Amino acid sequence: MAERERLLVVIADRELVNLLERSVLAPQGYRVTTASTGAAAERQIKSRRPDLMLLGDDLPDGDYLDMAARFAALQPTLPIILFTRQASPSIPLKVLRLGVVDWLTPPLRPDQVLDAVRQGLERSKHWENWLKVETRRYTGPLQQRVNELEMLSKVGRTVTAQLDLDRVLTTVVEAAVELTGAQEGSLLLLDETSGELYMRADLNFKDEFVRTFRLPVRDTLAGDVIRTGKPIFIDAKDPQKIVTSYLVYSLIYVPIQIKGRSVGVLGVDNRESGQSLDKRHVPLLSALADFSAVALQNAQLFSETAQERNKLGSILTQIHDGVIVMGRDERLLLVNEAVRKAFELGNRSVAGKRLHEVFDHKDLIRAIRGELTDPYRVEIQVGDARVYSVQVTDIHEVGIVATLHDVTYLKELDRIKTDFVNTVSHDLRSPLTAILGYVELIERSGEVSSMQAEFIRRIQMSVRNITDLISDLLNLGRIEVGLEEDVERVPLSPILQYAIDGLQSQLVERQQTLRVDFARNLPAVSGNPIQLRQVVDNLLGNAIKYTPSGGAITVLARKEQDQVILQVGDNGPGIPPDEQSKIFDRFYRASNASKNAQGTGLGLAIVKTIVENHRGRIWVDSKMGRGSVFTVVLPIAED
Ligand code: ADP
């Protein structure tokens, strides 16, 4: 006996129990446990699961038939042999409905007891075997479904975790073959140019066959699937020739679709007769085809993104302008070839390093940090010869992008032009002085008619205009060179006061009112007093010149943090909005400027250059017909 059967004897009569156990059952090798009440028996059933029960009618805690019913409910396959003290003329109907296999009454004969036990155990084995078979019958398909789902989820994971298209498609084909129990599997894709199908992945096909496989879409099963977008299932009874030398008995083909368009076919087949595929597997294969569609789409998107990135990459590397991209923490993300060349970085790796670790150029770093005067457009000199205009842009979700445009040639052109203007201006001065001298001599050398006197006056006025222009030009040329000498602490209040005093007579002449508001102790700025005076003279002069008689002019100045703000305003004609940025250019005069207002168009260019040389900023706020306010911001001199 491999495993000894467990018998549970549930009888209150001790003597009878002992007799049964010792003399009858144990000698036969049964493992016997006993219980003298119904409740104890119940506990044993739950904990031990006996193979058979001998149940007496003498239990103190209830009717034995009720108990038998309870035990049968607890363990339906438990065979029960009843022991009653008296023979019963008939078997109560109730007993038949329980798991009772035999009924013994005195006098008890050991062979009779053992017979009943053996038969009971036999019967219980039958039941159990039957139960196993039935369970398998029910759980078999379930298990298969579980396997299928596990396989699908495995393929799903591969699709999402893998960018390697070959791996994903091979996994799909392998899963298709394994799930359907087919012999071969293939994944065919449509070649858009030739319109033929080729084998992109396979299982159990010969290499040579795969390499040379080409299938037209017309008149082929796979082609039908592509055209109709519907799966095909072929049974083993009727073999089908798919292409020459490719004979199958059973087959499933499902379409692989991207955005509703069939791009390929996933197929499994059997070449041997008698091995049918299961139609039930069609939806499963369709699910696998969907996975391969996702993988194909991912691969396509990935390669498009990579292509775009390469394109952008080569644009960035090849353009002449320098590009520096960094995060807001100043860690570099990208530096293009032009920047590498300009700053002699060679092939040094820069990604992830901080701006100041890579670039040993104070002005560049200050420009990118927006610490220079005009935070959006500044010029820096690199090496001895090159000048770059640096433009900094804050791009959302990217970081800070600085572009460096080489303006060396513009600077050079500008210098040549300035040199030329300076030379010409110098050379013009002496003949003009001579003209003025001689014109004066005409009046002194004899009587002139009133008409001649008027002509002389006009000549003098024109020559004076030209002289003004020339001195403005020379002035600008000098100022543009920069502020290298004559830098001192310049208190601003006296400068403002002298300028106002100097223009007082013009104000009176034009009957304009002047409102002045600034403290006597405005802080000093560091710079050149003559040039700063020029700034105020020019702005105030313009306000007086362009505002009609009777107008109102204001001069305001105040300290704000570490800067001084100076504002010269008027209620004159204003400046057209699209011209406001141009009036600071050389020779530019606004289109609405009064014809009577003489000028060269150089004044504001000179003012702007001076202000910037003093590390300041200037701008205008103006409304047509309402007036203009010029604002100058200058940093206060450090102690
Ligand atoms: P100009 O010698 O012509 O005065 P500026 O460079 O000083 O040259 O000024 C350029 C132009 O800006 C002027 O021609 C004028 O059209 C305009 N402008 C300057 N100041 C004012 C102002 N206060 N009101 C209106 N327009 C002004």
pLDDT at 171 over 70: yes
49: Cβ–Cβ under 8 A, 6 or more apart, which residues?
6, 75
Q: How far is the CA of 601 from the centre of ligand 1 (A)?
A: 7
Of ligand 1's atoms, which has the minimum distance to the CA of residue 592? 16
Report how far residue 458's alpha carbon sits from residue 540's, in angstroms, rounded to the nearest whole number. Answer: 27
| Contact call for residues 17 and 37 (beta carbons, < 8 A) | no
State the average pLDDT over residues 321-329: 92
For 69-79, b where at least 16 C-beta lie within 10 A, e where not — what string? bebbeebebbb
Alpha-carbon dihedral of residues 490, 491, 494, 497, nearest 10 degrees?
100
Report how far residue 476's alpha carbon sits from residue 446's, in angstroms, rounded to the nearest whole number. Answer: 41
Residue 87: per-residue pLDDT: 72
Q: How far is the CA of 373 from the centre of ligand 1 (A)?
A: 24
Encoded amino acid at 567, one letter: Q
Question: Which protein residue has the closest C-alpha to ligand 1 atom 14?
Answer: 589
- Measured from the CB, is residue 584 less than 6 Å from ligand 1? no
State the average pLDDT over residues 420-444: 86
Angle at 199 between CA 196 and CA 201, to 5 degrees: 150
State the sign of the Cα–Cα–Cα–Cα dihedral 328, 329, 334, 337. positive
- Measured from the CB, is residue 541 less than 6 Å from ligand 1? no
In DSSP terms, 182 is beta-bridged to none
Q: How far is the CA of 600 from the centre of ligand 1 (A)?
A: 9
Per DSSP, the three-state class of 430 is: helix
User: What band does 94 get if pLDDT is binned at 50, 70 and 90?
Assistant: low
Of ligand 1's atoms, which has the minimum distance to the CA of residue 538? 7
SS3 helix, strand, coil % of the chain, rounded to 5?
45, 25, 30
Number of Cβ atoms within 10 Å of the Cβ of 178? 15
The half-sphere exposure of 323 on its side-chain side, counting CA atoms within 13 A, is: 16
Q: How far is the CA of 469 from the centre of ligand 1 (A)?
A: 15
Q: How far is the CA of 378 from the centre of ligand 1 (A)?
A: 25
| Contact call for residues 392 and 402 (beta carbons, < 8 A) | yes
Choice from 469, 503, 540, 542 to test ligand 1 binding pocket (greatest atom count within 8 A of CB): 542
Q: How far is the CA of 557 from the centre of ligand 1 (A)?
A: 21
State the average pLDDT over residues 629-634: 96
Judged on CB neighbours under 10 Å (0-12, 13-18, 19+), 282 is middle
Choice from 512, 604, 611, 621 to test ligand 1 binding pocket (greatest atom count within 8 A of CB): 604
In DSSP terms, 216 is beta-bridged to 196
Residue 559: per-residue pLDDT: 94
Q: How far is the CA of 480 from the centre of ligand 1 (A)?
A: 20
| Contact call for residues 252 and 281 (beta carbons, < 8 A) | yes
Q: How far is the CA of 25 from the centre of ligand 1 (A)?
A: 128
User: What band does 244 get if pLDDT is binned at 50, 70 and 90?
Assistant: very low
Q: How far is the CA of 504 from the centre of ligand 1 (A)?
A: 20
- Span of 109-123, 164-178, 225-239, 398-412 with lowest mean pLDDT: 225-239
In DSSP terms, 203 is beta-bridged to 185
Of ligand 1's atoms, which has the minimum distance to the CA of residue 593? 16
Report how far residue 454's alpha carbon sits from residue 563's, in angstroms, rounded to the nearest whole number. Answer: 51
Question: Which protein residue has the closest C-alpha to ligand 1 atom 21?
Answer: 542
- Measured from the CB, is residue 570 less than 6 Å from ligand 1? yes
Angle at 624 between CA 622 and CA 625, to 5 degrees: 115
Q: How far is the CA of 590 from the centre of ligand 1 (A)?
A: 7
Of ligand 1's atoms, which has the minimum distance to the CA of residue 602? 6
User: What band does 377 get if pLDDT is binned at 50, 70 and 90?
Assistant: low
Length in residues, the chain: 639
State the average pLDDT over residues 397-415: 89
Determine phi and psi for 538, rounding to 5 degrees: -65, -50
Report how far residue 368's alpha carbon sits from residue 383's, in angstroms, rounded to the nearest whole number. Answer: 18
Report how far residue 239's alpha carbon sits from residue 251's, in angstroms, rounded to the nearest whole number. Answer: 9
- Predicted model pTM: 0.46
Q: How far is the CA of 428 from the centre of ligand 1 (A)?
A: 26
- Measured from the CB, is residue 589 less than 6 Å from ligand 1? yes
| Contact call for residues 490 and 522 (beta carbons, < 8 A) | no
Residue 379: per-residue pLDDT: 85
Of ligand 1's atoms, which has the minimum distance to the CA of residue 543? 23
Choice from 589, 620, 622, 624 to test ligand 1 binding pocket (greatest atom count within 8 A of CB): 589
State the sign of the Cα–Cα–Cα–Cα dihedral 236, 239, 241, 244. positive
Question: Which protein residue has the closest C-alpha to ligand 1 atom 20?
Answer: 542
Q: Which of the two residues, 425 and 262, has the higher pLDDT score?
A: 262
Q: How far is the CA of 166 from the centre of ligand 1 (A)?
A: 72
Chain-centroid distance of CA 214 in Å reads 41
Judged on CB neighbours under 10 Å (0-12, 13-18, 19+), 103 is middle
| Contact call for residues 510 and 576 (beta carbons, < 8 A) | no
- Measured from the CB, is residue 604 less than 6 Å from ligand 1? yes
Q: How far is the CA of 583 from the centre of ligand 1 (A)?
A: 7
Question: Which protein residue has the closest C-alpha to ligand 1 atom 2?
Answer: 599
Of ligand 1's atoms, which has the minimum distance to the CA of residue 574? 25
- Two tokens, residue 302: 């990935």
Residue 1: per-residue pLDDT: 44
Give the ranges where 369-491 is alpha helix by DSSP (H).
408-444, 450-480
β-strand 250-258 against 617-623: which pairing, if any? unpaired
- Measured from the CB, is residue 543 less than 6 Å from ligand 1? yes
Question: Which protein residue has the closest C-alpha to ligand 1 atom 4?
Answer: 599
pLDDT at 376 over 70: no
Per DSSP, the three-state class of 281 is: helix
Q: How far is the CA of 615 from the centre of ligand 1 (A)?
A: 23
Q: How far is the CA of 448 from the centre of ligand 1 (A)?
A: 38
Residue 22: per-residue pLDDT: 92
Q: Which of the two residues, 507 and 132, has the higher pLDDT score?
A: 507
pLDDT at 375 over 60: no
Q: How far is the CA of 599 from the centre of ligand 1 (A)?
A: 8
**pLDDT single digits (tens) 478-501:** 787 766 567 899 999 999 999 999
Question: Which protein residue has the closest C-alpha to ligand 1 atom 8?
Answer: 601
- Measured from the CB, is residue 542 less than 6 Å from ligand 1? yes
pLDDT at 90 over 80: no
State the average pLDDT over residues 303-327: 88
State the average pLDDT over residues 44-63: 91
Residue 241: per-residue pLDDT: 65
- Measured from the CB, is residue 601 less than 6 Å from ligand 1? yes
- Two tokens, residue 23: 């003399």
| Contact call for residues 78 and 45 (beta carbons, < 8 A) | yes
From the list 263, 264, 245, the residue with the least C-alpha distance to 253 is 264
- Measured from the CB, is residue 583 less than 6 Å from ligand 1? yes
pLDDT at 151 over 90: no
| Contact call for residues 567 and 556 (beta carbons, < 8 A) | yes
Q: Across the chain, what does the average pLDDT equal? A: 88
Report how far residue 637's alpha carbon sits from residue 525's, in angstroms, rounded to the nearest whole number. Answer: 4
